[in-house]
Amino acid sequence: MGTVFSFAVRDPGPGTEAALRRITARLHEIDAVFSPYRADSDISRLDRGELTVERCHPDVPEVLARCRELSAETAGYFTDRPAGRLDPSGWVKGWAVEEASRLLRAAGSADHCVSGGGDVQTAGGPWRVGIADPLRPGALAATVTGHDLAVATSGTAERGPHIIDPHTGRPATGLASLTLVGRHLAHTDALATAAFAMGRERALAFATHHPAVEALAIDPTGTRHPTPAFPRS
C-alpha cells in the first residue's frame, strides 16, 4: 500500500507472535488485490477490463459496495475513481488497519494500537494519539486521548495537494489537514478523505452534524477549527 504499518500490543500473549505473522500475510494479500500501483492486482486488471467483478477476489465486490455507500453518504465527495481510474484506496487503507486490529482482538488482545500511514485504530486504552502539524514538520498540532479510538488525517503535508474534489476535478486546497476521530477506522478514514475534498466550511458542517465523528481542521494559515466535541487532551 506504499506505507508503513506498526503495532503496539500492551497485552501480548502466547498467540500474539503468530497472530502478527497472519496479519502481515493478510496485509500483503490486501495489497496484492487492491493496489492501483501493481499492474497485476485485481483492481488494476478490473479497471483495464481484464477481469469481471465476479472473477475478482471475494473482497473486491464488498469493498466496491462500501465505496458506493460512502459516495451516497458524502454527496459524491468520496469516490473510488479519483482522476477517472478505479482506485478504492480511500476505503482500503483504513479498512486494512481496522482488519489488523480485528485479527489482534481475535487472537486475544484487548489493548493495542495499529497504525498505517499515520492513521490509527486502537483497542482498549487509554491511548494518546498525536496529530501532526501540517505546517511544522515534526511538531504536533494536538493530541487526543481515549479508548477504542479511530484517528484519521487527510492533508497536503506529505504528498502535496493530491486529494481531488470529484465535483470540480481539481485538487482540494481549502485545508492543510483534516483529522477525524471516530470508532471504526475504515469509515472514519474514508470520511476524512471525502470531507477534506469539501473544503473548510463544508467539511466542518459535515463533521459537526455527523453522529460518528469529530473533527479538527487546520487551514493553510495554520488556524485550527475544531468541532465542538473534538476530544483534545
Q: What is the pTM of this model?
A: 0.95
Which pLDDT tens digit goes with each residue over 74-107? 999 999 998 899 999 999 999 999 999 999 999 9
* pLDDT bucket at 2, cuts 50 / 70 / 90: confident
Which pLDDT tens digit goes with each residue over 139-189? 999 999 999 999 999 987 777 778 889 999 999 999 999 999 999 999 999
Which pLDDT tens digit goes with each residue over 35-74? 999 999 999 999 999 999 999 999 999 999 999 999 999 9
The closest of 22, 24, 23, 45 to 33, measured between CA atoms, is 45
DSSP H helices, the chain, are 16-34, 42-47, 59-73, 89-106, 185-198, 200-209
